[in-house]
A and B are shown apart, each in its own frame.
Chain A
């Protein structure tokens, strides 16, 4: 009982415990802010990692596999699957209007179907915008609408539509390269892209500054079709108008991927439906009727079905695919559906044992392991902070016990027991921990909730930019408090104080009461 009273009194009338509380508050807040923001950041990174690849991909590289539409239908019949779509993946080379040449990853997609499986639509950059980006204080973003200059009266909705369908207004197939690919977009510190490029070497070796809006231009696309044996045949070249550009937040994709309308890629790669013909042994045959050599007729002996290299699958809403176990289970679903499909088309499609069925986690292994390492690092720092705080609390409590030696003697003279006095100080430590952690939690919550505003303020007033969107590819610092982590950190804060107070408390309890009373 006296412990409760004295704890309260000591807490409210002394400076020392306030110092201890401040130390705990700061530690808890720091750890929580770091952990929350770091966690949010990594989560965002993971989500972007998933944004362009769906949940599971069924993949047979190079020559691809036929009957992909049937496979998609079979997949979509399963209630656990929301959508599936075929794509064709191939390496290619593009030439930009300024004669720059890039090796790229070409993905043939049907934009609207692809958008049901991935976040494709959300990544299309050139689109109508009703609000500026969070850090775009100057409102320089042309997408906000302008009545002057190059973009005066631009129809951004039409741009978005063209990007989504990969089709120009005249109906021709178009391409959507990543926003970093051409180098024609300048990324402002606010994270906004504006068209315009630094001086770059032209074909003649002289420097040239290009100030052109890529979606108004066209690119030259070179693809290498393969024959049935997988050997390359002659390069196929087409000039393709650019409909839009995409921004996924993953630099590798944004700088190396070009989406092109599915049917065009399929045709260029000779993967479309074709008659199978049989050529005679020699190009000329002797016609006995005329007695002359005549050109031999080729004979149609069947149809080669169209092929795609990949089918992407998206899980239905509510089907969990985030954790390793969940996504493995979902991958199993896709695998078994493919197995049925392969059984019905034995000999025509790759067997279920050889086809590659990979989850988004499989394809983002490096990033995920980096994420897990980061979390480990945060926990390490967390441990370090706890350790420091233990010593801090220990030091503060040790000196408070010394200062209060006389009180301890008095309480013992009044009949207080060793355990009672120990409990008084432990309880006091717990109270300091609880108050400190509570305040730390509150502070962390306020900071995390307003981290973008705080960051903005720091940038405006002190010129401090910690989170540069042009580095991190997100416009906003993730500002969600993770309550599970909060519980862990607060518990650790209280535990730390109890731990730090334990030794001084024991010292207080074991103090010789007579010596304590004589203490000056």
Chain B
């Protein structure tokens, strides 16, 4: 762990899904702390609970209620417990502090590329705020898209873009509100190596320039290599929490 106070931390977090009478425990006491500006890769087998962890950290879902077993369980953002936040506060937390990027892009198919990016700002600001900052927001959105090499596709619909282009639009959308933390769920999982690399370059660049904290779920060792730290989920707990595997390790 870093010496600096973590921007986001989880302590003994449990998550159990219920399907009828069957209880599916997924996370069984996950603890981690992530420093501001850090790039962390989350590795783990399929079904190990990586997406679940991201959803919990992003305030999209809540962990299991605390009981005797996990009395001190909580997720904190800059020292504030998400569990103490009201629904409205959680909504604002997602709108202002967090940017989500998903494996399958999740763009709104009816909106054009530019609108898909500005919609994040619309959700955040509401009608009045958006109208007031409209120019600024549109400029930032087109700036981001430009930086991702999509400056000439602003008026296209997602259906007319390639996978890599779509994912870049999704990243631009996640960044439109200048979040502190980017939660990326296999952002390159559906892309070829070269495209994936270019996207990772873009993210890395942003991290350096904006001091963005990045938590990125991946299956891919090559992707994990680029992170400063790798967290491995196994059996619902963190099995390894260390520096990224070096290339020589990979070859073995």
A interface residues (Cβ-Cβ under 8 A, vs B): 1-2, 4-6, 9-10, 13-14, 406-407, 409-418, 420, 512-514, 517
Instruction: Tell me if B's interface is mostly helix, strand, loop or mixed.
Output: helix
| Contact mask for chain B residues 116-157; partner A; CB cutoff 8 A; 1 contact, 0 none | 000110111111001100000000000000000000000000
A-B contact pairs, 17 of them (CB 8 A): A2-B119, A6-B111, A9-B108, A9-B111, A13-B110, A14-B110, A407-B108, A409-B106, A410-B108, A411-B119, A413-B58, A414-B119, A416-B123, A417-B91, A420-B123, A514-B55, A517-B106
A10 to B115, CA, bound (A): 14
Known A-B contacts A1-B130, A420-B123; the reply to A415 vs B96 at CB < 8 A is: yes
A413–B100 CB distance below 8 A: yes
Q: Collect the chain A residues with CB atoms within 8 Å of residue B95's CB.
A: 414-415
Q: Collect the chain B residues with CB atoms within 8 Å of residue A1's CB.
A: 122-123, 125-127, 130-131
Nearest chain B CB to A428's CB is how many angstroms away? 12
A414–B60 CB distance below 8 A: no
B61–A414 CB distance below 8 A: no
Whether, in the assembled complex, B88 has its beta carbon less than 8 Å from a beta carbon of chain A, the answer is: yes
A420 to B126, CA, bound (A): 10
Whether, in the assembled complex, B77 has its beta carbon less than 8 Å from a beta carbon of chain A, the answer is: no
A14 to B110, CA, bound (A): 9
Known A-B contacts A413-B94, A414-B119, A415-B96; the reply to A514 vs B60 at CB < 8 A is: yes
Q: Collect the chain B residues with CB atoms within 8 Å of residue A411's CB.
A: 119, 123
A418 to B61, CA, bound (A): 14
Q: Collect the chain A residues with CB atoms within 8 Å of residue B91's CB.
A: 415-417, 420
A232 to B176, CA, bound (A): 103
A412 to B60, CA, bound (A): 8
Least CB separation from B126: chain A residue: A1
Q: Which of A14, A410, A412 has the most CB of B within 10 A?
A: A410
Whether, in the assembled complex, B102 has its beta carbon less than 8 Å from a beta carbon of chain A, the answer is: yes
A418 to B86, CA, bound (A): 12
A5–B60 CB distance below 8 A: no
B88–A417 CB distance below 8 A: yes
A168 to B60, CA, bound (A): 97
A420 to B123, CA, bound (A): 9
Least CB separation from B116: chain A residue: A410
Q: Collect the chain B residues with CB atoms within 8 Å of residue A13's CB.
A: 110
Which one of A5, A6, A414, A418 contacts B94 once the chains associate, using CB atoms below 8 Å? A414
Q: Collect the chain A residues with CB atoms within 8 Å of residue B111's CB.
A: 5-6, 9
A512 to B95, CA, bound (A): 17
Least CB separation from B128: chain A residue: A1
List 20 extra interface pairs beyond A514-B60, A517-B102, CB under 8 A: A1-B122, A1-B126, A1-B130, A1-B131, A4-B127, A9-B110, A14-B110, A410-B106, A410-B107, A411-B123, A412-B60, A414-B100, A415-B91, A415-B92, A415-B96, A415-B177, A416-B123, A418-B87, A513-B60, A513-B61
Nearest chain A CB to B247's CB is how many angstroms away? 34
Q: Would you list which residues of chain B between 69 and 104 have a CB under 8 Å from chain A?
A: 87-88, 91-96, 100, 102
A13 to B159, CA, bound (A): 13
Q: Collect the chain A residues with CB atoms within 8 Å of residue B100's CB.
A: 413-414
Nearest chain B CB to A444's CB is how many angstroms away? 31
Which one of B87, B96, B122 contacts A2 once the chains associate, using CB atoms below 8 Å? B122
Nearest chain A CB to B15's CB is how many angstroms away? 10
A341 to B123, CA, bound (A): 81
A415–B124 CB distance below 8 A: yes
Least CB separation from B95: chain A residue: A415
Least CB separation from B115: chain A residue: A5
B87–A417 CB distance below 8 A: yes
Nearest chain B CB to A237's CB is how many angstroms away? 88
A512 to B96, CA, bound (A): 20
